[in-house]
Amino acid sequence: MNPFFNPICTIESLPTEIAFGISVHVLRLDSLHPVVSGNKWFKLHHYLTEAIAAQKTILTFGGAFSNHIVATASAASNAGLKSIGVIRGEASLTPSPTLIQAKEYGMELFYTSREAYKTKQVPAKVYERYTPEELYVIPEGGYGTNGMEGAKDILLQNDTYNYTHILSAVGTGTTLAGLIAAAGSWQNVIGISVLKNNFSLQQEIDDLLPSDKKGRFILLHDYHVGGYAKRSAELIRFMNDFYSETGIPTDFVYTGKLFFAAVDLLRKNYFEKDAKVLIVHTGGLQGNRSLPKGTLIFGAE
Ligand SMILES: *Cc1c(COP(=O)(O)O)cnc(C)c1O
């Protein structure tokens, strides 16, 4: 795969009964690429360009079910670069499918304790094998200006001019920052935070934005369903029903909570009758691979 293919995604409308009569479309970033799914491709683009120019080994951070880890492994492999994943937690005798796949893409994995992981330092073990000059470090989740710049293309490379509201799931906020930076002044960008009470997000997003865009977004903190990667029976039921009704697969970490929030807001008349809502399906179904078999009626792939 050419790491710089031009990603034009499909935009589908939601059935009116699900959308409570409002015009709602879904930007299907999940259909981009089976592994470098969705927003991760956009966030990695500029980091990858720099790493290729410098011919360095890419190092990044993530958990055992991280979409970012497997996306980075695949993208680095396509670009002919070596990659290293610093993984939160101890090595397991039964590694997650995500980590097995990352290894298949040639990513070298270094495990680090949950305590040490918090500092996001490159573990000393890595420096036994690599010099700092050989490494190109991508922050966890691709957070940073390069990530934000890449995420702007999500709106700019698709026909999104006419939407009044743009919704996306938020982890680090890098993707939302790109959407805010690319959106027109007539567009309202709304982020659904998937972490519990992550109120520092407001500042972290502002830090990535040019001064005329700072604060020009709304974060909703009511749809985390207990916290990051937490789930409820109601959320799983919603995801299965949503798939039956629309054919759109979601994951319980990010997009399940996003669509759950969107439908809840539609039900509560959050949007004006003439609103044109765009929901960005950010892809990445890796989290679902941690669920017991049979939980979902659709596959993780
Ligand atoms: C990583 C991820 C996000 C979060 O993106 P941020 O830029 O970190 O906010 C949202 N959705 C999916 C599917 C993801 O994999």
**Does the pLDDT value for residue 26 go beyond 50?**
yes
Indicate whether 108 pLDDT > 90: yes
Can you tell me the mean pLDDT for 57-79? 95
Tell which one of 29, 195, 254 to mutate to probe ligand 1, the residue whose CB is within 8 A of the most ligand atoms. Answer: 254
| Averaged pLDDT for residues 99-119 | 95
Q: In a 3-state reduction of DSSP, which class is residue 81? A: coil
174 Cβ closer than 6 Å to some ligand 1 atom: yes
| pLDDT for position 209 | 98
The pLDDT, as a whole number, for residue 86 is: 98
Under the banding of pLDDT at 50, 70 and 90, the label for residue 2 is very low
User: Which residue has better confidence, 7 or 23?
Assistant: 23
Intra-chain end-to-end CA distance of the chain, in Å: 18
Concatenate the DSSP letters of all residues of 126-175 into one string.
HHTT--GGGEEEEPGGG-SHHHHHHHHHHHHTS--TT-SEEEEEESSSHH
Q: What is the pLDDT of residue 5?
A: 53
181 Cα: distance to centroid of ligand 1 (angstroms): 17
Q: Is 180 near ligand 1, meaning CB less than 6 Å away?
A: no
**Cβ neighbours, 10 Å, residue 63:** 23
> Counting atoms of ligand 1 from 1, which one is nearest the CA of 173?
9
**Quick one: tokens of 185?**
């002044």
Coil/strand/helix, residue 109: strand
C-alpha 39 – ligand 1 centre gap (Å): 6
Atom of ligand 1 nearest to the CA of 147: 7
Least confident segment among 8-12, 13-17, 34-38, 78-82: 34-38
Indicate if ligand 1 lies below 6 Å from the C-beta of 173: yes
3-state secondary structure of 197: coil
Give the span between the Cα atoms of 216 and 213, in whole angstroms: 6
Question: pLDDT category, 1, cuts 50, 70, 90?
Answer: very low
Q: Is the CB of 175 under 6 A from ligand 1?
A: yes
| SS3 call for 234 | helix
Indicate if ligand 1 lies below 6 Å from the C-beta of 67: yes
Does residue 31 surpass a pLDDT of 90?
no
| 98 within ligand 1 shell (Cβ under 6 A) | no
Q: Which long-range contacts (CB under 8 A, 24 or more apart) does 9-12 make?
A: 9/158, 11/158, 11/159, 11/160, 11/278, 12/248
- Cα–Cα distance between 217 and 91 in angstroms, integer? 39
Residues 243-252 pLDDT 10s:
999 999 999 9
Chain mean pLDDT for the chain: 94
pTM, rounded to two decimals: 0.95
As a whole number, mean pLDDT of residues 132-145 equals: 97
Task: Name the more confident of 299 and 95.
Answer: 95
3-state class of 88 per DSSP? strand
In this prediction, residue 34 carries a pLDDT of 67
Dihedral sign computed on CA atoms, order 130, 131, 135, 141: positive
Handedness of CA 62, 83, 138, 166 (dihedral sign): negative
